[in-house]
Amino acid sequence: MSDTETTAVQPAAKRKRGRPQTHSDTDRRSDIIDTARKTFVELGFSGTTTDIVAARCRISKQTLYRLFPSKSDLFLAVVAAHRQMMLDLPRPAEEDAPVDTVLQQIFMIDIDEEAENERQAFIHIVMREGGQFPEIAEILRRDGIDRSRQILADWLSNEAKRGKLVIEDPLGGARMLMDMLFGAMGPRREDFNTRADRRRHLERSISLFVRGTRPT
Protein backbone atom coordinates (compact mmCIF):
# COMPACT_ATOMS: atom_id res chain seq x y z
CA MET A 1 0.00 0.00 0.00
CA SER A 2 1.32 3.41 -0.93
CA ASP A 3 1.97 6.20 1.55
CA THR A 4 -0.96 8.07 0.05
CA GLU A 5 -3.28 5.12 0.55
CA THR A 6 -1.99 4.62 4.12
CA THR A 7 -2.70 8.25 4.96
CA ALA A 8 -6.15 7.98 3.45
CA VAL A 9 -7.24 5.08 5.64
CA GLN A 10 -5.87 6.48 8.91
CA PRO A 11 -8.69 7.31 11.31
CA ALA A 12 -9.47 10.99 11.81
CA ALA A 13 -8.14 12.49 15.01
CA LYS A 14 -10.67 12.29 17.79
CA ARG A 15 -12.15 15.56 18.91
CA LYS A 16 -11.97 16.40 22.57
CA ARG A 17 -15.34 16.20 24.20
CA GLY A 18 -16.86 18.99 26.20
CA ARG A 19 -16.95 22.72 25.78
CA PRO A 20 -13.69 24.50 25.08
CA GLN A 21 -12.12 26.02 28.18
CA THR A 22 -12.58 29.77 27.94
CA HIS A 23 -10.91 30.71 31.23
CA SER A 24 -7.67 29.41 32.66
CA ASP A 25 -7.68 27.96 36.16
CA THR A 26 -5.52 30.90 37.24
CA ASP A 27 -8.12 33.43 36.10
CA ARG A 28 -10.94 31.35 37.51
CA ARG A 29 -9.20 31.04 40.90
CA SER A 30 -8.71 34.79 41.02
CA ASP A 31 -12.40 35.43 40.29
CA ILE A 32 -13.50 32.89 42.88
CA ILE A 33 -11.22 34.32 45.57
CA ASP A 34 -12.42 37.87 44.93
CA THR A 35 -16.07 36.78 45.07
CA ALA A 36 -15.46 34.67 48.17
CA ARG A 37 -13.80 37.57 50.00
CA LYS A 38 -16.78 39.83 49.32
CA THR A 39 -19.15 37.05 50.37
CA PHE A 40 -17.29 36.39 53.63
CA VAL A 41 -17.46 40.12 54.41
CA GLU A 42 -21.17 40.29 53.59
CA LEU A 43 -22.41 37.05 55.15
CA GLY A 44 -19.67 36.16 57.61
CA PHE A 45 -17.83 32.86 57.76
CA SER A 46 -20.84 31.01 59.17
CA GLY A 47 -23.24 32.40 56.56
CA THR A 48 -20.98 31.74 53.59
CA THR A 49 -21.28 28.40 51.84
CA THR A 50 -19.49 26.98 48.84
CA ASP A 51 -22.90 26.73 47.13
CA ILE A 52 -23.38 30.49 47.47
CA VAL A 53 -19.89 31.28 46.19
CA ALA A 54 -20.32 28.94 43.22
CA ALA A 55 -23.67 30.50 42.34
CA ARG A 56 -22.26 34.04 42.55
CA CYS A 57 -19.34 33.01 40.35
CA ARG A 58 -21.76 31.33 37.93
CA ILE A 59 -19.81 28.11 37.99
CA SER A 60 -20.70 24.57 38.98
CA LYS A 61 -20.02 23.27 42.46
CA GLN A 62 -17.80 20.64 40.86
CA THR A 63 -15.59 23.35 39.37
CA LEU A 64 -15.35 25.11 42.72
CA TYR A 65 -14.52 21.89 44.57
CA ARG A 66 -11.87 21.02 42.02
CA LEU A 67 -10.03 24.26 42.81
CA PHE A 68 -11.01 24.59 46.49
CA PRO A 69 -12.00 21.25 48.06
CA SER A 70 -13.56 22.86 51.17
CA LYS A 71 -14.69 26.17 52.62
CA SER A 72 -11.56 26.23 54.78
CA ASP A 73 -9.39 25.89 51.67
CA LEU A 74 -11.30 28.77 50.10
CA PHE A 75 -10.89 30.89 53.23
CA LEU A 76 -7.17 30.11 53.28
CA ALA A 77 -6.86 31.38 49.68
CA VAL A 78 -8.75 34.55 50.62
CA VAL A 79 -6.37 35.13 53.54
CA ALA A 80 -3.36 34.71 51.25
CA ALA A 81 -4.82 37.25 48.82
CA HIS A 82 -5.66 39.60 51.68
CA ARG A 83 -2.06 39.38 52.88
CA GLN A 84 -1.00 41.00 49.62
CA MET A 85 -3.58 43.73 50.21
CA MET A 86 -1.86 44.52 53.51
CA LEU A 87 1.80 44.28 52.47
CA ASP A 88 3.12 44.76 48.94
CA LEU A 89 5.56 41.87 49.14
CA PRO A 90 7.63 40.31 47.69
CA ARG A 91 9.43 43.19 45.98
CA PRO A 92 11.01 43.22 42.50
CA ALA A 93 14.49 41.71 42.54
CA GLU A 94 15.99 44.71 40.70
CA GLU A 95 14.50 47.33 43.04
CA ASP A 96 17.12 49.72 44.43
CA ALA A 97 15.14 52.61 45.96
CA PRO A 98 15.86 54.09 49.43
CA VAL A 99 14.67 51.94 52.32
CA ASP A 100 12.11 54.47 53.56
CA THR A 101 10.61 54.85 50.09
CA VAL A 102 10.24 51.09 49.68
CA LEU A 103 8.73 50.70 53.14
CA GLN A 104 6.10 53.30 52.27
CA GLN A 105 5.27 51.22 49.21
CA ILE A 106 5.32 47.94 51.12
CA PHE A 107 2.82 49.23 53.68
CA MET A 108 0.84 51.09 50.99
CA ILE A 109 0.44 54.17 53.17
CA ASP A 110 -1.14 56.11 50.31
CA ILE A 111 -3.84 53.53 49.60
CA ASP A 112 -7.16 55.11 48.62
CA GLU A 113 -10.07 55.10 51.02
CA GLU A 114 -12.15 52.56 49.11
CA ALA A 115 -9.32 50.01 49.00
CA GLU A 116 -8.55 50.63 52.66
CA ASN A 117 -12.16 50.06 53.69
CA GLU A 118 -12.16 46.87 51.65
CA ARG A 119 -9.14 45.39 53.38
CA GLN A 120 -10.34 46.49 56.82
CA ALA A 121 -13.76 44.90 56.26
CA PHE A 122 -12.20 41.45 55.98
CA ILE A 123 -10.28 41.95 59.22
CA HIS A 124 -13.53 42.88 60.98
CA ILE A 125 -15.25 39.66 60.00
CA VAL A 126 -12.33 37.58 61.27
CA MET A 127 -12.24 39.46 64.56
CA ARG A 128 -16.01 39.13 64.91
CA GLU A 129 -16.17 35.40 64.26
CA GLY A 130 -12.72 34.26 65.34
CA GLY A 131 -13.96 33.21 68.76
CA GLN A 132 -16.80 31.19 67.32
CA PHE A 133 -14.65 29.54 64.66
CA PRO A 134 -11.13 28.99 66.03
CA GLU A 135 -10.02 27.51 62.71
CA ILE A 136 -10.38 30.84 60.90
CA ALA A 137 -8.45 32.66 63.62
CA GLU A 138 -5.70 30.06 63.31
CA ILE A 139 -5.61 30.42 59.51
CA LEU A 140 -5.37 34.20 59.79
CA ARG A 141 -2.59 33.97 62.37
CA ARG A 142 -0.56 31.30 60.57
CA ASP A 143 -1.07 32.25 56.94
CA GLY A 144 -1.81 35.93 57.42
CA ILE A 145 0.00 37.67 60.26
CA ASP A 146 2.85 35.20 60.84
CA ARG A 147 3.49 34.70 57.15
CA SER A 148 3.43 38.45 56.50
CA ARG A 149 5.90 39.05 59.32
CA GLN A 150 8.26 36.40 57.96
CA ILE A 151 8.16 37.78 54.40
CA LEU A 152 8.86 41.28 55.72
CA ALA A 153 11.70 39.91 57.88
CA ASP A 154 13.18 38.22 54.80
CA TRP A 155 13.10 41.55 52.96
CA LEU A 156 14.79 43.35 55.88
CA SER A 157 17.44 40.63 56.03
CA ASN A 158 18.11 40.98 52.33
CA GLU A 159 18.41 44.76 52.63
CA ALA A 160 20.91 44.25 55.46
CA LYS A 161 22.97 41.93 53.24
CA ARG A 162 23.01 44.66 50.61
CA GLY A 163 24.41 47.08 53.20
CA LYS A 164 21.34 49.33 53.17
CA LEU A 165 20.51 48.84 56.85
CA VAL A 166 21.84 47.20 60.01
CA ILE A 167 19.49 44.95 61.94
CA GLU A 168 20.37 42.12 64.33
CA ASP A 169 16.88 40.63 64.52
CA PRO A 170 14.98 40.97 61.23
CA LEU A 171 11.92 39.14 62.59
CA GLY A 172 11.80 41.46 65.59
CA GLY A 173 12.22 44.44 63.28
CA ALA A 174 9.35 43.21 61.12
CA ARG A 175 7.18 42.85 64.22
CA MET A 176 8.09 46.39 65.30
CA LEU A 177 7.20 47.85 61.91
CA MET A 178 3.90 46.02 61.69
CA ASP A 179 2.90 47.02 65.22
CA MET A 180 3.73 50.69 64.58
CA LEU A 181 2.16 51.02 61.17
CA PHE A 182 -0.82 48.69 61.33
CA GLY A 183 -1.65 50.12 64.74
CA ALA A 184 -2.02 53.54 63.14
CA MET A 185 -3.98 52.10 60.22
CA GLY A 186 -6.70 50.62 62.40
CA PRO A 187 -10.30 51.73 61.91
CA ARG A 188 -11.78 54.74 63.67
CA ARG A 189 -8.53 56.17 64.95
CA GLU A 190 -9.79 59.36 66.55
CA ASP A 191 -6.29 60.76 67.14
CA PHE A 192 -5.98 61.57 63.42
CA ASN A 193 -8.21 64.35 62.17
CA THR A 194 -7.63 63.53 58.51
CA ARG A 195 -6.10 60.85 56.35
CA ALA A 196 -3.28 63.30 55.60
CA ASP A 197 -2.52 63.52 59.34
CA ARG A 198 -2.29 59.76 59.54
CA ARG A 199 -0.07 59.56 56.47
CA ARG A 200 2.38 62.04 58.05
CA HIS A 201 2.40 59.89 61.19
CA LEU A 202 3.15 56.77 59.12
CA GLU A 203 5.95 58.55 57.29
CA ARG A 204 7.48 59.67 60.60
CA SER A 205 7.22 56.13 61.99
CA ILE A 206 9.04 54.72 58.98
CA SER A 207 11.65 57.48 59.16
CA LEU A 208 12.26 56.68 62.83
CA PHE A 209 12.80 53.00 62.03
CA VAL A 210 15.13 53.79 59.12
CA ARG A 211 17.24 56.16 61.22
CA GLY A 212 17.59 53.50 63.88
CA THR A 213 18.82 50.90 61.39
CA ARG A 214 20.93 53.16 59.16
CA PRO A 215 24.52 51.96 58.66
CA THR A 216 27.05 54.13 60.48
DSSP-derived secondary structure for 8-67: HHSPPPPPPPSPPP-S-HHHHHHHHHHHHHHHHHHHHHHH--HHHHHHHHT--HHHHHHH
- What are the pLDDT digits (tens) for 127-153? 788 778 888 878 888 888 899 999 999
Residue 186: its pLDDT value, please? Answer: 67
Whether 208 and 100 have beta carbons less than 8 Å apart is answered as no
Residue 189: its pLDDT value, please? Answer: 60
Q: At what angle do helices 170-185 and 146-161 cross, to 10 degrees?
A: 120
Lowest mean pLDDT among 70-79, 122-131, 205-214: 122-131
- Mean pLDDT value across residues 120-132: 80
Other beta carbons less than 10 A from residue 10's beta carbon: 7
Categorize the per-residue pLDDT at 184 as very low, low, confident or very high, splitting at 50, 70 and 90: confident
- Mean pLDDT value across residues 167-185: 93
Q: At what angle do helices 113-129 and 25-47 cross, to 10 degrees?
A: 50
- Mean pLDDT value across residues 79-106: 92
Question: Does the pLDDT of residue 126 top 90, yes or no?
Answer: no
Residue 145: its pLDDT value, please? Answer: 87
Residue 48: its pLDDT value, please? Answer: 94
Q: Count CA within 13 A, CB hemisphere, residue 156.
A: 24
Closest by Cα among 159, 133, 174 to 40 = 133
Give 120's contacts (C-beta < 8 A, 6+ positions apart). Answer: 187
Q: Is-above-0.85 flag for pTM?
A: no
